[in-house]
C-alpha cells in the first residue's frame, strides 16, 4: 500500500478512509515509525467488533518487551472488523505495517476528528522533530 493517501494521528496511528454504501469506513493501523520505536512486540489487544469508539480514546493496546502502549482511536464510530490474524504474527508488522498490518475497520459516525489528522508529509516532519 502506498502511504501517500493515508492520514496520521499524533499518537502514531494511520488511517485510510474509503466510501462504502454511502458510509465512510476507516481502516486503522500503527505507523511503521511507531512499530520500529516499540521494537520487540509481544502482544496486541484488538478492539472488540461492535464496540463504539471515540476519537482520541484508547481502543486497544500493543505491548513490547519493555512497555505497553495504548492504541488510540483516530476516528469516532463503530468497530466493524478486527484483524484477528495479527496478534499471532506481530513480527510481520515490522515488514508490513500498512497492508496486512491493519488493526481494525471502523464505520465513521462523526468525521469531525478527521480534520485533526495529518498527511504523510506533516507526520514525517513531526517524527523527525521528535527524533
Residues in contact with another protein by the rule CB under 8 A: 43, 45, 48, 61, 63, 67-68
C-alpha cell at 51: 464496540
Task: Kindly state the smallest distance separating residue 17's Cβ from another protein, in Å.
Answer: 28
Tell me how far, at minimum, the Cβ of 68 lies from another protein, in Å. Answer: 5
Q: Using the minimum distance from each CB to another protein, give the nearer residue, 60 or 113.
A: 60
Residue 28: strand, helix, or coil: strand
Least Å distance, CB 67 to another protein, is 7
Q: How would you list the strands of the sheet with 23-30, edge to edge?
A: 7-8, 13-20, 23-30, 104-110, 76-82, 52-53
Of 63 and 81, nearer to another protein (C-beta) is 63
Question: CA-CA distance, 108 to 127, in Å (whole number)?
Answer: 26
Measured from the CB atom, is 43 or 110 closer to another protein?
43
Between 68 and 122, name the residue whose CB sits nearer to another protein: 68
Shortest distance, position 98 Cβ to another protein, whole Å: 26
Q: Grid coordinates representing 98?
A: 500498512
- How far CA 26 is from CA of 15, 81, 84, in Å, comes to 6, 11, 17
Amino acid at each position: 500500500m502506498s502511504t501517500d493517501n493515508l492520514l496520521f494521528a499524533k499518537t502514531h496511528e494511520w488511517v485510510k478512509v474509503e466510501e462504502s454504501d454511502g458510509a465512510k469506513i476507516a481502516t486503522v493501523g500503527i505507523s511503521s515509525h511507531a512499530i520500529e520505536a516499540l521494537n520487540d512486540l509481544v502482544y496486541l489487544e484488538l478492539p472488540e467488533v461492535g464496540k463504539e469508539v471515540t476519537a482520541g480514546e484508547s481502543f486497544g493496546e500493543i505491548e513490547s518487551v519493555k512497555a505497553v502502549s495504548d492504541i488510540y482511536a483516530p476516528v469516532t464510530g463503530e468497530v466493524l472488523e478486527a484483524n484477528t490474524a495479527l496478534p499471532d504474527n506481530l513480527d510481520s508488522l515490522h515488514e508490513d505495517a500498512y497492508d496486512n498490518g491493519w488493526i481494525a475497520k471502523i464505520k465513521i459516525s462523526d468525521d469531525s476528528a478527521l480534520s485533526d489528522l495529518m498527511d504523510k508529509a506533516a507526520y514525517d516532519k513531526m517524527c523527525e522533530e521528535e527524533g
